[in-house]
Chain A
Amino acid sequence: MLEYSLLAGILFGLYFGLVALGLNLIFGVMKIVNLAHGDFLMLGGYGAYIVFTDFHVNPLITLLVEIVIFVLIGFPLYYLLVPRLQASRDPEMLSLILFFGLSQVIEALATLRFGSSERSIPGTVLGDGPISLFQQTFPVAWVVSGAISLLAVGAIYIYLYRTRIGQLTRAVMAQREEALSTGIDVQRISAIAFGIGIAGAAVAGVLSPFMMGSITPSMGVGITITSFAVIVIGSLGNPLGTVAGGIIYGVALMFMQTYFSSWANLLPYLLLIAILLVKPTGLFGRRMRNA
């Protein structure tokens, strides 16, 4: 059971790394907390569900389309909300309130449109039967989700470290005012990061019916809380540390389920408290500050 829990935890953790990736990118660049992150994920899930049920399109194709759509949604949304926030005295605190409101609006509209019942996509859409991995069998959806998470992390890495825009993004993450003074178009860079951030949530959303069993309009809040715990573990503002945070969360969750199942929902909060007490900057905090 030990090996199974460990491997399952890594696969599940990779997915949660993907879930939290966008939240951390947005925080890293804009220093705002997008409390509607889980709701964008939920919308991504419903997008895949509707396209699959109405047009029988494989969710992996929808995933690619959603990346484009959500990046495009992110642009105007950024210019509508964020510059005003950053002009305020306490953008971080105000972002909590504003995005909480946005989260409630999205959830309410989604409930009106989709109803409150659970919805899902058949697990066999991603492939038949379980997959054997190191002599242990796992649902094919877990392995596919883990692989997509790795691809997404790789893409973010290439974007941040191998592209010109990524270099500028890291400059904004490191010191926003200095970046501004050197002539970097901070608003444009931030808008791109915002779009990528919510597109990341949408990608995770497409996979959520397979990883979480079902989707509902109210799933966003819980997802945002877990994502927040994951990025605090990995380090706030460090997108790549998020993957490590996700794996730690996933492995810890699976061990809790195996040995102390009743207490498993305490885990995100226990990890959050433990990290804040032991290493408040997160496991990768120092590396992030020097980026």
Chain B
Amino acid sequence: MVRRTLAAFLIGAFVALGVCGTSARAAQAPPTIKIGTLYASAGSFAAISMPVHKALLLWEEQVNAQGGIYVKAYGKKIPIKIIAYDDQSSTSTAATLYNQLITQDKVDILVSDSGSVLTSVAVPIAREHQMLLFDQTGTGMNFFTSDNRYIVLLSDPISNLWPKNVAEFLVKDGPKLGIKRVAMLYSTNDFTGSQATGFRDFLKGSSIDVVYDHGVPTNTSSYTVLIQTIKALNPDAVIELGYPNNDISFLRDLQGSGTKFKMVFTVYPGLETDLLLKTVGEKGLAYTYTYTPPTVIKYKPDYGMDLDTFKAAWIKKYKDTTDFGFNAVAGYVTALVLEKTLATSESMDQMALRKAVFGLSGKLRTLDGTFMLRGDGAQIGELTPLGQIVPSGNGEVKFVILYPPEAANGKAVYPAP
């Protein structure tokens, strides 16, 4: 009898302790997980910022409809609240607002605005406040140093890695095609400036001769004279690295001036194909080279929606107000990484979050490919192959993947017709 009473007491005590423990843990849980971020509704970077931001809002709506996301640190599902301010593409406004998110709103998680320019001001601020910066698409190579533990790049590879496949294609396949002289024109910002640096580094020691290597301001809207300057040097390939506005103007001026180069590479026909089709047209994009987007590769994700499902959800919510493209995917990848991080992090401490993000490296495969981090927080996965756009004749375009060889599904049409 005594033994049974003692056993019942012990079981009761354990249950009570367990309940109390759970209650105490649940009591500490906040009503929402606050995610602070910025977006640019206007200005030079609105086009790349709004799709990323809208993808985060779509995710917020979806997860909150299911009661929130599982947060391991509190052992329960908690709704998320995105606190977002409009920086209007201004770095000075962004700096003030990043500070506000940290010091006034006291957000649990800090997510930078899209693109390297608006991320550049967040890097020192996050470091100073010892907040881990969830960097969405700010890929500038100088953001990542071994002594800064407060940044992780989520949705794009670091900029100087982007042209790896382009440069390797030129070095390995170029001589067979007769490519010896290359011209490079780039916009002078962290994103494309770093790509230009990477491109130069990849070409070092090769037989490729860079005959033109010049930067232009990011707000450049007229390329006709620059195209003529390059044409006078008779290059075998032209690499133009710019933001959407640059690529649109460059490709339109190329078409308008009647100039033909044997090979033209630009960044955004691959990343924002719908936008470039609307602004440049099928003819202007024909046979240009670009980064092959995840929309073509269609990675099979281990986590989150696949591309078709995500695109359908996007179109249902945003219809024609915001083009679906790579930046929409990038915003959704940010959301997936945040979701996984909170589901695995032991606490909400910033270093615990960092450990959890790094724990995903090489293991998380989304619709954007495999998530993989370098020790300094730079993204080295999610690298896009080199592709060539082939007109389909019905106003749409097709992509042929050219490099690396293991991903290739066709051969380059060189020189372009």
Binding site for B on A (CB under 8 A): 1, 4-5, 8-9, 12, 107-108, 111, 115-120, 122-124, 129-130, 137-142, 210-214, 216-218, 222, 253-254, 257-258, 261-262, 264-265
11 contacts between A and B (CB under 8 A): A1-B232, A4-B228, A117-B275, A117-B322, A137-B258, A140-B256, A213-B248, A214-B249, A214-B252, A217-B46, A258-B226
Q: Min CB distance, A20 to chain B, in Å?
A: 16
Q: Which of B4-12, B73-81, B143-151, B216-224 contacts A (4 or more CB under 8 A)?
A: B216-224
Is B112 engaged at the interface, CB distance under 8 Å to the other chain?
A: no
A254 to chain B, nearest CB (A): 5
Query: Chain B residues near A118 (CB, 8 Å)?
Result: 47, 244-245, 248, 275, 279
Query: How distant is the Cα of A4 from the Cα of B43 in the complex, in angstroms?
Result: 32
Shortest Cβ gap from B399 to chain A (Å): 21
B225, B258, B283, most chain A CB atoms within 10 A: B225
Q: Which residues of A contact B258 (CB under 8 A)?
A: 129-130, 137
Whether B216 contacts A216 by the Cβ 8 Å rule is no
Q: A117-B275, A122-B281, A262-B188 are in contact. Are A130 and B256 (CB under 8 A)?
A: yes
Say whether B89 contacts A265, CB under 8 Å.
no
Tell me the minimal C-beta distance from B375 to chain A in angstroms. 33
Give the complex CA separation of A140 and B320 in angstroms.
31
Q: Is B66 close to A, CB under 8 A?
A: no
- Interface residues of B toward A: which range? 35 or more
- A124 CB to closest chain B CB, in angstroms? 8
Contacts of A108 on B, CB cut-off 8 Å?
A: 41-42
Question: Is there contact, CB below 8 Å, between A115 and B275?
Answer: no
Q: Are A213 and B252 interface neighbours, CB within 8 A?
A: yes
B42–A217 CB distance below 8 A:
yes
In the A-B complex, the 4 residue pairs with the closest CB atoms: A139-B256, A213-B249, A116-B46, A265-B217
Measured between beta carbons, the chain B residues less than 8 angstroms from A139 are: 224, 253, 256-257
Counting CB contacts under 8 A, is B316 at the interface? no
- Encode contact with A along B235-256: 1 for CB under 8 Å, 0 otherwise: 0000000001100111011011
> Which residues of A lie under 8 Å from residue B220 when comparing CB positions?
257, 264-265
Structural contact, B255 and A123, CB atoms closer than 8 A: yes
Residues in A neighbouring B322, C-beta threshold 8 A? 115-117
| Bound-complex Cα distance A253 to B226 (A) | 11
On chain B, the residues within 8 Å of A117 by CB distance are 46-47, 50, 244, 275, 322-323
- The answer on a CB contact under 8 Å between A8 and B256 is no
Question: By the criterion CB–CB under 8 Å, are A211 and B222 in contact?
Answer: yes
Please give me the residue from chain B that is nearest to A120 by CB atom.
B279
B257 contacts which chain A residues (CB < 8 A)?
130, 137-139
Name the one of A115, A140, A214, A254 contacting B50, with C-beta atoms under 8 angstroms.
Answer: A115
Chain A, residue nearest B217 (CB): A265
Are B232 and A120 interface neighbours, CB within 8 A? no
B106 within 8 A of A: no
Interface centre among A115, A119, A140 (most CB of B within 10 A): A115
Q: When chains A and B are docked, how far (Å) is the Cα of A42 from the Cα of B323? A: 20
Q: Answer yes or no: B278 CB below 8 A from chain A CBs.
A: yes
Residues of B within 8 A of A137 (CB): 257-258
Which residues in B have their C-beta under 8 angstroms from that of A116? 40-42, 46-47, 49-50, 322
Minimal beta-carbon separation of A180 from chain B (angstroms): 40
Query: A123–B89 Cα gap in the complex (Å)?
Result: 28
Answer whether residue B127 sits at the interface, using C-beta atoms and an 8 A cutoff. no
- Bound-state Cα–Cα, A187 to B205, Å: 71
Residues in chain B near residue A142, CB distance under 8 A: 224, 256
- In the assembled complex, the CB of B192 is this many whole angstroms from the nearest CB of chain A, namely 12
Give the chain A neighbours of B228 by CB distance below 8 A.
1, 4, 8
CA distance A210 to B248 in the complex (A): 11
Whether, in the assembled complex, B92 has its beta carbon less than 8 Å from a beta carbon of chain A, the answer is: no
- Residues of the A chain whose Cβ atoms lie less than 8 Å from the Cβ of B217: 262, 264-265
Which among A138, A214, A262, A265 is the interface contact of B248 at CB below 8 angstroms?
A214
Interface contact A218-B44, CB-CB below 8 Å: yes
**Contact of B215 with A by CB under 8 A:** yes
B229 within 8 A of A: yes
B46/A111 in contact, CB under 8 A: yes
Q: Are B225 and A4 in contact (CB under 8 A)?
A: yes
Q: Are B42 and A214 in contact (CB under 8 A)?
A: no
Say yes or no: A264 contacts B216, CB within 8 Å.
Answer: yes
Contacts of B215 in A (CB 8 A): 261-262
- For residue B129, CB closer than 8 A to chain A, the reply is no
- Alpha-carbon distance A12/B225, docked complex (angstroms): 11
A116 to B214 alpha-carbon distance, docked (Å):
29
CB-CB contacts of B21-65 with A at 8 A, as 1s and 0s? 000000000000000000011111011011000000000000000
Q: A129-B258, A138-B257 are in contact. List 4 more A-B contacts (CB 8 A).
A: A111-B42, A122-B281, A141-B256, A264-B220
Q: Complex: how many Å from CA A262 to CA B218?
A: 9
A216 to B322, CA, bound (A): 13
Cβ contact within 8 Å between B89 and A261:
no
B323 to chain A: which residues have CB within 8 Å? 115, 117
- State which residues 346-389 of B face A: CB under 8 Å: none
Do A254 and B252 touch across chains, with their CB atoms under 8 A apart?
no
Q: Tell me whether A262 and B214 are in contact (CB under 8 A).
A: yes
Is there a chain A Cβ closer than 8 Å to B104's Cβ?
no
- Provide the bound-state CA to CA distance between A79 and B242, in Å: 44
When chains A and B are docked, how far (Å) is the Cα of A183 from the Cα of B330?
65
The answer for the CA separation of A117 and B188 in the assembled complex, in Å, is: 21
Given contacts A130-B258, A213-B248, A218-B89, contact A111 B41 (CB under 8 A): yes
Task: Assess whether A107 is in contact with B42, with CB atoms less than 8 Å apart.
Answer: yes
Q: Which residues of A contact B252 (CB under 8 A)?
A: 120, 123, 213-214
Task: Determine the chain A residues whose CB is within 8 A of the CB of B225 once the complex forms.
Answer: 4-5, 8-9, 254, 257-258
Is B394 engaged at the interface, CB distance under 8 Å to the other chain?
no
- Can you name the residue of chain A whose Cβ is closest to the Cβ of B246? A213
Between B228, B248, B320, the greatest number of chain A beta carbons within 10 A of the residue's beta carbon is seen for B228
In the assembled complex, the CB of A39 is this many whole angstroms from the nearest CB of chain B, namely 11
Q: Cβ of A218 and Cβ of B249 under 8 Å apart?
A: no
Q: Which A residues touch B248, using CB under 8 A?
A: 118, 120, 213-214
Q: Which residues from A are CB-within-8-Å of B309?
A: none
